[in-house]
Amino acid sequence: MKHSCNNMQTNLSLQKMVFCKIDLKIISIAIAVLTMCSFYGQSQMTDDQVQEQLKTHEGKIDALDERVLLNEGDLAKLSKIKLSGYIQAQYSHYQEGTDPLNTFYIRRARVKFTYKATDGVKFVLQPDFSTGSLSIKDAYAVVNIPRLNGITLWAGQFNRPNYEVEYSSSQREVLERSKVIRSIYPGEREIGIKLEYIPDAFPLKLQLAMLNGNFTGKEAKDVDKKKDIMARATYSFDLPDAGIGIDLGAHGYFGSLVSQTMYISDYEGRLDSMSANIGSFYDKQWFGGEMQVFFDFLGGMSLKGEYIMGKNATAGDSRSNPFKTRNFSGYYAYFIKNIGKKNQFAVRYDHYDPNTDLSGNDAAKEVSYNTLTVAWQYYLNENIRISLNYDKPWNETNATVTEDKKDNVLGVRVQAKF
């Protein structure tokens, strides 16, 4: 299903320049021919007059040659730019509790500019024009470290090192990421630097990133002096006789969040209103393990999953919305099956518990969630994909949350890639 996309606008520009170059060459030849005809047709002209006309025509030809060289330089610059992107037009129907209950909107509309300046240096810029917002998703530079084969340095705003985060929204088999990923990695991107190592000799990838740690898509600068660290390692191997490919990986997050309010809610929900809490740092530390298994069976099939657990801190600004520290856990599991060359069936089950220290009536509103997602993809061609998706979440109930919320969602999406 993967394919490379060419930039239609860039191709048109390149064609115009090529045609311009051809036209200029034809004009040069025509001028030379006319000069010769003029020379032979006007035998009565003196030698000085002939030489003067030749110099005039030579000057015009030199000017045309300069324009051709200038166009060739512009053509070389444009050839270093790659343009790609996609538009996701979506219809969503909500079970209840949302006004309106259904709507059309643009879920994502992205254009990605990739400029390869020289060998080993590239720049990426990707804005998003989805309904109701305009934002920069990616803005980073990638540089190959000299004399260190396989090591690249990333700087700017990019995806956090995690499987489901890095897995492009244009390729994902269901409409949205799992609840645990959306909860601990809001906005998917972060600002910072990253080292990535991919050796040539064996299928290993190592990532180490230093990040601000507070980015949610709006804040551009850090809010405290400490930086967060992320690390991820993945390894791939094949079982050719069985037609199986396996990717294994793990990642860790080591950071903190500074409290800007005196109201702190601890792991068991107890509220502390000590003024000394302001400016204190609280841990954001978790670990995750992942696996993806790909089967070359009846058109292709895959199983994918990840489990994450640890401590998280979330910002708050008042007694009713306090700063929170919580132990959490979550996981997701996919089953994906290709049906022929144009259809694909996918089902995902995911679980997220925002506070593993409390359950039942003690959990109050911090209840766990389970979500079953069923999706069908139809690939009209290499550029157009139509998706039908149904999410059925159900939440834990207790004395505070007495029933399952009516929050099922039916989604239909048409995606166009270029």
pLDDT score recorded for residue 10: 39
Q: Is residue 65 over pLDDT 70?
A: no
Looking at per-residue confidence, does 90 or 365 come out higher? Answer: 90
Residues in the chain: 418
Characterize the bridge pairing of strands 151-159 and 135-144.
antiparallel
Q: Is residue 26 over pLDDT 80?
A: no
Three-state DSSP class for residue 31? helix
Cα-based angle 210, 213, 217 (whole degrees, multiple of 5) = 115
Looking at per-residue confidence, does 101 or 19 come out higher? Answer: 101
Mean pLDDT value of segment 94-106 = 89
pLDDT score recorded for residue 62: 65
Q: At 232, is the pLDDT very low, low, confident or very high (cuts 50, 70, 90)? A: very high
| Cα(93)–Cα(370) distance, integer angstroms | 20
Of 185, 369, 212, nearest to 288 (Cα)?
185
Q: Helices 8-41 and 47-78, interaxial angle, to 10°?
A: 170
Phi and psi at 108, nearest 5°, equal: -145, 145
| Cα(39)–Cα(124) distance, integer angstroms | 57
Mean pLDDT value of segment 86-106 = 92
CATH of the domain spanning 84-417, picked from 3.40.50.180, 1.10.260.40, 3.40.50.740, 2.40.160.10: 2.40.160.10
**H or E stretch covering 220:** none
**Amino acid occupying residue 201:** A
Residue pair 55/47 in contact by the 8 Å Cβ criterion: no
Q: At 84, is the pLDDT very low, low, confident or very high (cuts 50, 70, 90)? A: very high
Q: At 222, is the pLDDT very low, low, confident or very high (cuts 50, 70, 90)? A: confident
> Which pair of structure tokens corresponds to residue 303?
């199983």
pLDDT in tens, 274-318: 877 888 999 999 999 999 999 998 889 999 999 999 999 998 888
pLDDT score recorded for residue 225: 87
Lowest-pLDDT range of 29-33, 162-166, 236-240: 29-33
| Cα(313)–Cα(316) distance, integer angstroms | 10
Residue pair 368/361 in contact by the 8 Å Cβ criterion: no
Of 195, 183, 229, nearest to 393 (Cα)?
183
Looking at per-residue confidence, does 259 or 275 come out higher? Answer: 259
pLDDT score recorded for residue 25: 53
pTM: 0.81
| Cα(137)–Cα(110) distance, integer angstroms | 9
Q: Is residue 249 over pLDDT 80?
A: yes
Three-state DSSP class for residue 334? strand
Q: Is residue 86 over pLDDT 80?
A: yes
pLDDT score recorded for residue 5: 37
pLDDT score recorded for residue 22: 44
pLDDT in tens, 153-210: 999 999 999 999 999 999 999 999 999 999 999 989 999 999 999 998 899 999 999 9
Of 350, 247, 342, nearest to 302 (Cα)?
247
